[in-house]
């Protein structure tokens, strides 16, 4: 199947995408007889980039709203998370790297003489953690692009698959449940690709809030029909097959409640899909309303996974600092949709970021005993441990060490020289 691509344009200051002078433009679907207005308009983005209070104040309000039972169970994790959010309110970041494989740019100093920067690159800005409202605004803008793509292609058939795992009443931790569902999601998609070929999909993680456990479950939107009309080589229906594997072989959740298949058809399919996914995305970010206790527990565990609160599992290796950390993704998609929402990059430099530092203003005594404002600098990430929010300036997919790039380029030059001289 050939899809019509739609342009992507990010919102200014959205945090994860380069700023754009123009607003996101929808792509009108080609009208056909009797269908011109049937699906309705996608509407405009209805979200404030800057809430009335800071993200840390929102987190502390959510914590104070929790019952004493929850505070007693997760107290340290929740308060550490709120303090981290408070730290991020007043902090920034600076990153330095080297542009590889491109011509060094000259710059001018006060004496007006042209200088070579030797390929050094440096960026700085506010420390936008993964919960910042601007990060949320960026994802909502991207979701509009997916909705536009869906409408422009008049895709017939979409199935929303909800993956739910066993929770703490089964003796599993938050991280055990997440890991089990994530592994089953990968296996499930492999099976669908085996019988259906190439498919487009989009998945979002949402916390359980019904009993305020905060445990995760996944919503997987597959842009095709997935039901028992599709048979495997043994004649078993696809929905029955996946339920059986999910419960009996993968042991991720129950046969009845572990997987839920919801076909999204009819004129409301686009509206339902957009609202579903945006509603789930919003629970992982700071907005205008405080988190419920379950949402706070969910997000505090995401913080804990990258700050040493997640117990290591068998076979895992520590990072360069000796810590067992893991970053959990809230959103994922097929490669075609990932390419669709990828912002246009004018600067094609291949930059290897060497380190990222946290900068925070603080008071310090000078030689005269007076307190003056200075900038405290603390290294956050070295080389390959660069966070994803640096994608605003550089796609980090082809990350490798500076030394290896120098070696590779020298080896390539030697090979070319030997070939020219007739040795190869």
Place of tokens 């011509």: 103
* 173 within 8 A of 74, measured Cβ to Cβ: no
Taking each helix axis from N to C end, the angle separating 55-64 and 68-89, rounded to the nearest 10 degrees, works out to 170
Place of tokens 């796609």: 395
pLDDT of 62 reads 95
- The string of pLDDT tens digits covering residues 183-206 is 999 999 999 999 999 999 999 999
Q: How far apart are CA 274 and CA 280, in angstroms?
A: 10
Cβ neighbours around 140 below 10 Å, total: 21
Q: How far apart are CA 263 and CA 160, in angstroms?
A: 6
Domains of the chain by residue range: 130-342
From the list 249, 262, 164, 146, the residue with the least C-alpha distance to 213 is: 164
Max mean pLDDT range (60-69, 102-111, 343-352): 60-69
- The string of pLDDT tens digits covering residues 362-407 is 666 677 777 666 666 666 655 544 454 454 444 333 333 334 444 4
As a whole number, the mean pLDDT across the chain is: 75
Q: DSSP letter for 248, please.
A: I
Task: Specify the higher pLDDT residue, 220 or 22.
Answer: 220
Q: How far apart are CA 298 and CA 271, in angstroms?
A: 27
Q: How far apart are CA 42 and CA 275, in angstroms?
A: 10
Continuous segment of H or E residues that includes residue 9: none
* 216 within 8 A of 181, measured Cβ to Cβ: yes
């Amino acid at each position: 199947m050939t899809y019509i691509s739609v342009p992507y344009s990010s919102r200014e200051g959205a945090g994860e995408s380069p700023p754009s002078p123009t607003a996101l433009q929808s792509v009108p679907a080609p009208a056909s007889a009797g269908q011109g207005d049937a699906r309705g308009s996608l509407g405009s983005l209805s979200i404030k980039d800057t809430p009335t209070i800071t993200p840390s104040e929102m987190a502390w309000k959510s914590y104070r709203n929790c019952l004493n039972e929850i505070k007693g169970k997760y107290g340290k994790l929740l308060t550490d998370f709120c303090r981290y959010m408070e730290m991020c309110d007043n902090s920034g970041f600076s990153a330095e790297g080297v542009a590889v494989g491109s011509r060094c740019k000259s710059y001018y100093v006060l004496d007006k003489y042209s200088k070579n920067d030797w390929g050094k690159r440096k960026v700085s800005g506010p420390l936008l953690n993964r919960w910042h409202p601007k990060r949320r605004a960026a994802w909502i803008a991207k979701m509009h692009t997916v909705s536009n793509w869906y409408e422009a292609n008049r895709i017939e058939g979409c199935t929303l698959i909800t993956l739910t795992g066993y929770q703490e009443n089964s003796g599993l931790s938050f991280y055990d449940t997440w890991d089990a569902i994530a592994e089953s999601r990968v296996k499930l998609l492999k099976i669908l690709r085996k019988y259906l070929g190439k498919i487009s999909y989009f998945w979002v993680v949402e916390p359980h809030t019904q009993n305020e456990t905060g445990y995760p479950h996944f919503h997987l939107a597959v842009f095709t029909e997935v039901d028992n009309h599709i048979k495997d080589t043994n004649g078993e229906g696809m929905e029955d097959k996946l339920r059986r594997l999910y419960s009996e072989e993968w042991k991720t959740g129950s046969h009845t409640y572990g997987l839920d298949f919801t076909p999204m058809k009819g004129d409301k399919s686009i509206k339902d899909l957009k609202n579903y996914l945006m509603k789930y995305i919003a629970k992982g970010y700071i907005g205008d309303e405080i988190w419920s206790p379950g949402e706070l527990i969910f997000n505090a565990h995401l913080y804990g996974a990258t700050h040493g609160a997640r117990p290591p599992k068998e076979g895992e290796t520590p990072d360069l600092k000796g810590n067992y950390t893991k970053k959990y993704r809230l959103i994922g998609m097929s490669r075609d949709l990932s390419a669709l929402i990828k912002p246009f990059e004018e600067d094609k430099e291949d930059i290897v970021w060497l380190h990222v530092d946290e900068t925070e203003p603080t008071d310090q005594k000078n030689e005269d005993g007076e307190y003056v404002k200075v900038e405290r600098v603390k290294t956050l990430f070295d080389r390959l441990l660069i966070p994803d929010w640096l994608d605003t300036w550089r796609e980090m997919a082809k990350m490798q060490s500076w030394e290896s790039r120098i070696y590779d380029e020298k080896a390539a030059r030697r090979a070319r020289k030997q070939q020219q001289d007739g040795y190869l």
